Structure formats: structure tokens, C-alpha cells
Amino acid sequence: MTDARLSEIIQRLVAIASAFVPSPEEPELTMFGLISRYNAQYDNPELIGGDWVKENVPELADLPA
């Protein structure tokens, strides 16, 4: 993966997390919720998932499963 692609994915993930609005059904953003939104909005040929986020996006690494 190129540095440019890495930055693009991280920016998209951080943007998804920043746009999250809690609701009674989803009171907090989970790793599942983050990746589910990423898959819904973008192509994901690298099949990034929760483990990838933990390794590459420190600010999102502690999201609950």
C-alpha cells in the first residue's frame, strides 16, 4: 500500500468517526460500526478491518468491538 493510499484510508476513517452521532440504538461508535460505514461508503479492495485500524490508526485503536 502506498503512503498516499494509507493516508487516504486513515482520513476517511477519521472523518467517519468525527461524523458519528450517538443514538439510543447506537450510543457509541464501535469498530464494527466504523468498518461497516467505511464498506458502505467506499470500495475496500484491501479488505481493511478492525485489526488494520488497531495497527494503523492510533486515535481509533481503542474503539470497542
Q: Minimum distance between the CB of residue 61 and another protein, rounded to whole angstroms?
A: 11
Nearer to another protein, 7 or 44 (CB): 44
Binding interface with another protein (CB under 8 A): 25-26, 30-36, 39-40, 44, 47-51, 53-54, 64-65
**End-to-end alpha-carbon separation of the chain, Å?**
25
Dihedral class, residue 46 (left if φ above 0, else alpha if ψ from -120 to 50, else beta):
alpha
The nearer residue to another protein, 4 or 45, going by C-beta atoms, is 45
If the CB atoms of residues 7 and 36 are measured against another protein, the closer one turns out to be 36
